[in-house]
Structure 1
Amino acid sequence: MKTLDRPRSTATTGPPREGTRAGKPFWTSRRRDQLAGYLFIAPQLLGTVVFVLIPLGLVVWYSFHEWNVLAGTFHSVGTDNYRKLLDDPKLPGVLRATAYFSVGLVVLNLSLALALAVLLNQKLRGSVVFRTLFFSPVVVSLVAWTIVWGFLLQKNGGINAGLDLIGIKGPNWLRSEGTSMLSAIVVQCFKNVGLNMVLFLAALQGVPRELYEAATVDGAGRWRQFWRITVPLISPTILLTSIITVVGSLQVFAQIAVLTQGGPSGSTTVLVYYLYQQAFTFHHFGYGATLSVLLFLIVLVLTVIQWQMRKKWVFHES
């Protein structure tokens, strides 16, 4: 017997439930995942807004004003601080000292860190102890580290005492224009070289051993293996450490303040220390804010340049 199909009703069985749209639930799994993601990044986002974006905006705003805390005056000066920046006779020397410090620190730090990482990556006895020794300065207080080195680098300090034992008369490291900048670079390098060393060491341990074995079969020496295999494969880590070191070198302050106070004759007055002098010694807060904007732009430009250059020399980025 042939059965008759019942006509399908096109009417809805009832009004949509609350929290739904056209009969579909509002809290789908995709929206729940999105909400969870936003909640996870909310603390970091809030911290970035409160401690980075808002202070940066205030610094830019202060750079168009002059604020004298001692006199209790605060008034707008327009672009006078930026014109003062262009006409400042001390600024070229400050930028030159900053460039010397940054270039010297980056070259010395990265070279030494990579050399130590390559050495400690070998199967040598006691390598774990040496890793700990080289990394331990990273966790030491920066001020305490600098004060100790300040005593060692005095004219009658530990460094010159050691040189006297082998018949060498050491200079006054921190009071001579020829050695003061070098001393500050070395102190900062030894403070943070362990961090870059650990990063390089982790990258080296990720390089497949089969590549070295194949290169050895093909007759490639250790030096050729280093430039053709090691450097390309750890180039992302080289990029990371170079950005970290460049930014850190431009923000150095405690070492200069404790070791040389910008001397002798301003030879170690880097941009951050000069900013500090203008804002907190001479109480020119508006001009100090202008120097802060200049520092921010320098860091931003250098970081962008390094990031764009990665396409040419970072492995897998071309």
Structure 2
Amino acid sequence: MVKSNHKLGWLFASPYVIYTLIFFLFPLGWSVYLSLTNWNLISPEYDFVGIQNFTDMLKDERVHAAFWVTYKFMIILIPMALVCSLILSLTVYSLPKFKEVFAIGFFLPYLASGVASAVVARGLFSYNSPVNEWIRKTFHTNIDWFGSPTLALMILCGMITWKLSGYYALLLLSGLESTPKEVHEAALLDGVTGFKKFRLITLPMIYPQMYTVLILAIGVVFHIFTEPYVLTGGGPNLATNTWQIEIYNQAFTRLSAGYGTAIAVVNALLTFITVFIFRTLLEKWGTKNGW
């Protein structure tokens, strides 16, 4: 009977197992192998070069830039997205009516095309845009939004925050809605209100949703491509050169597919390490708060 149950379990799990083998494990193994070659994406022949691609990365300033840009995004983007999504979720939660309508409205930017958003942003911050014309007339100065490394990075963080906040807010809202009302009533009786209530009660109660949002946001940071590719191409001075842009440029522009694959492998490894560190810290915080 036990063996029969095991077979039935494997039968039901087999579609996912087969999918994982075909679309994840096999491509992953093939990528690791290609990262050790000098394949140029076109020729059917390529040579095994060992760890040469990885040692070359140690001297490549473009790869160095992608490394630091990713963590700059993490420092700026994740707090922005978290704060905005918290504000949105708390706002919707406090509404007496039409919560669903507002929740769907805030979610819509997540469905917007990254290319379309980037084109709109380019028009908004272009030299002849109404925004720049007003700034020139009012302050007698001209701002080169995409020519400044700091401003370009901030604009991209703002765009991605706008896109993700509604989706993350829905996740946090589910946690708020599942919190027993008795907990809030007890806090009110004890005189715990305002930010103190938010810090001591609301945040710990939505820990599972916060955990999910933060892990998802970290994954997004390591896979940013569309917005900087359309708006800045990784510039100025590699200030927005993400891992994905560098992988694309190496593999499809310079036709150094072996080197590009090696960069992708390093990106995957750094993503795993960063997620593991954050998971460990978040789980310690959750354990401290009773989870």
Is the structural similarity TM-score above 0.5? yes
C-alpha distance in 1 between matches for 2:34 and 2:249: 17
Among candidates 167, 172, 190, match of residue 162 of structure 2:
190
Counterpart for residue 21 of structure 1: none
Among candidates 257, 266, 273, match of residue 245 of structure 2:
273
The reply on whether 1:101 has 2:82 as its aligned counterpart is: no
How far 1:75 sits from its partner (Å)?
0.7
C-alpha distance in 1 between matches for 2:44 and 2:149: 39
| SS of the residue 2:84 aligns to | helix
Structure 1: which amino acid aligns with 2:64?
P
Counterpart for residue 122 of structure 2: 150
Root mean square deviation, CA, Å: 2.2
Higher helix content, 1 or 2:
2
Structure 1 or 2, whichever has the larger Rg, is: 1
| SS of the residue 2:246 aligns to | helix
Query: Where in structure 2 are there 5+ consecutive unaligned residues?
Result: none
Structure 1: which amino acid aligns with 2:149?
E
Query: Where in structure 1 are there 5+ consecutive unaligned residues?
Result: 1-27
Counterpart for residue 305 of structure 1: 277
CA 161–273 in structure 1, closer or farther in 2 if over 3 Å, else same = same
CA 165–191 in structure 1, closer or farther in 2 if over 3 Å, else same = farther
Structure 2: which amino acid aligns with 1:60?
V
CA 158–73 in structure 1, closer or farther in 2 if over 3 Å, else same = farther
Could you tell me the percent identity over the aligned residues? 27
* Deviation larger for 133-142 or 108-117: 133-142
Counterpart for residue 135 of structure 1: 107
C-alpha distance in 2 between matches for 1:168 and 1:217: 55
* Deviation larger for 167-176 or 80-89: 167-176
How far 1:271 sits from its partner (Å)?
1.5
The reply on whether 1:176 has 2:159 as its aligned counterpart is: no
The reply on whether 1:63 has 2:35 as its aligned counterpart is: yes
CA 165–137 in structure 1, closer or farther in 2 if over 3 Å, else same = farther
Asked if the contact 1:68/1:283 (under 8 Å) is kept, the reply is: yes
The reply on whether 1:253 has 2:209 as its aligned counterpart is: no
Counterpart for residue 288 of structure 1: 260
C-alpha distance in 2 between matches for 1:56 and 1:70: 20
Among candidates 106, 109, 132, match of residue 160 of structure 1:
132
C-alpha distance in 1 between matches for 2:41 and 2:123: 35
How far 1:104 sits from its partner (Å)?
1.3
Q: Tell me which of the two structures has the higher relative contact order, counting C-alpha pairs closer than 8 angstroms and 6 or more residues apart.
A: 2
How far 1:32 sits from its partner (Å)?
4.5
How far 1:246 sits from its partner (Å)?
0.5
CA 238–168 in structure 1, closer or farther in 2 if over 3 Å, else same = farther
C-alpha distance in 1 between matches for 2:274 and 2:27: 21
* Deviation larger for 301-310 or 150-159: 150-159
Counterpart for residue 19 of structure 1: none
Counterpart for residue 205 of structure 2: 233
How far 1:166 sits from its partner (Å)?
6.7
Aligned length: 290
Among candidates 172, 178, 198, match of residue 200 of structure 1:
172
C-alpha distance in 2 between matches for 1:121 and 1:83: 52
Provide, for residues 92-148 of structure 1, a one-character-per-residue CA deviation record: whole Å limited to 9, x for no partner. 222111111122111100111011111111034554443222111112223223222
CA 303–122 in structure 1, closer or farther in 2 if over 3 Å, else same = same
Counterpart for residue 4 of structure 1: none
Among candidates 85, 102, 118, match of residue 113 of structure 1:
85
* Deviation larger for 106-115 or 148-157: 148-157
C-alpha distance in 2 between matches for 1:168 and 1:55: 55
Structure 2: which amino acid aligns with 1:86?
L
Asked if the contact 1:311/1:317 (under 8 Å) is kept, the reply is: no
Provide, for residues 220-269 of structure 1, a one-character-per-residue CA deviation record: whole Å limited to 9, x for no partner. 12211111111111111111110001111110111111111111121111
* Deviation larger for 31-40 or 298-307: 31-40
How far 1:70 sits from its partner (Å)?
4.9
The reply on whether 1:123 has 2:123 as its aligned counterpart is: no
Counterpart for residue 81 of structure 1: 53
